């Protein structure tokens, strides 16, 4: 039996799939405690909030999301795909992911017959640990990755690199 002070959490508690289509992608970027050891960048889209404390992790996530384009995975996707707009209410955060390090990633093409549209629908999943980014069209992929790429610029500006953060945490200037 473990003590109440040291709870054991599973490595991966849930997996959430984020549906992305269309060129109208909006990602909100917020910052707290800039240029300190406690600095963090919060990225919010829909019901998902991601927290970055290391600029290298933000860069690694955006690099992983670029992989479908460079690997030719988007060739089967249409330029534009109409996705039902009823996702989640604004400012309703159901999932928060703290990216302390970048998990293993993979790109997985998928598809299924959609009886409502009476056709086969293709998509590309970018699996990144607890989050699966599912792209239904090229426009959505381009717009979402461009929006998320802003995180890299913000992270570089406000987050300390790991070595400087370690020095700041130990009281060195």
How does pLDDT run across 65-80, given as a tens digit for each residue?
Answer: 999 998 888 988 888 8
Q: Rounded to a whole number, what is the distance in angstroms from the first to the last CA of the chain?
A: 42
Q: What is the pLDDT of residue 61?
A: 93
In a domain, 6, yes or no: no
- Count of domains forming the chain: 1
Q: Environment class of residue 156 by beta-carbon count within 10 Å: exposed (0-12), middle (13-18) or buried (19+)?
A: middle
The dihedral region occupied by 72, where left means phi > 0, alpha psi between -120 and 50, and beta the remainder, is: left
The pLDDT-based confidence of 11 (bands split at 50, 70, 90) is low
Over 70: is that where the pLDDT of 34 sits? Answer: yes
Q: Between 161 and 24, whose confidence is greater? A: 24
In a domain, 76, yes or no: yes
In a domain, 78, yes or no: yes
pTM, 2 dp: 0.80
Range of the domain at 164: 16-168
The order of strands in the sheet holding 119-128 is 16-20, 131-135, 119-128, 105-114
Q: What angle do CA 27, 124, 133 make, to 5 degrees?
A: 30
């Amino acid at each position: 039996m473990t003590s109440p002070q040291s709870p054991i959490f599973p490595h991966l508690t849930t997996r959430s799939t984020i549906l992305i289509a269309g060129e109208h992608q909006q990602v909100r970027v917020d910052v707290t405690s800039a240029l300190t050891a406690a600095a963090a960048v919060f990225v919010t889209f829909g019901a998902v909030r991601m927290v970055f404390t290391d600029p290298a992790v933000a860069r690694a996530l955006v690099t992983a999301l670029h992989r479908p384009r460079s690997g030719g995975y988007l060739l089967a996707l249409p330029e534009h795909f109409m996705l039902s707009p009823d996702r989640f209410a604004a400012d309703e955060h159901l999932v928060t992911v703290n990216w302390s390090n970048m998990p293993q990633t993979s790109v997985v093409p998928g598809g299924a017959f959609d009886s409502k549209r009476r056709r086969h629908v293709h998509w590309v999943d970018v699996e990144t640990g607890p989050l699966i980014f599912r792209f239904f069209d090229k426009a959505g992929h381009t717009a979402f990755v461009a929006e998320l790429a802003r995180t890299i610029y913000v992270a570089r500006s406000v987050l300390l690199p790991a070595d400087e953060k370690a020095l700041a945490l130990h009281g060195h200037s």
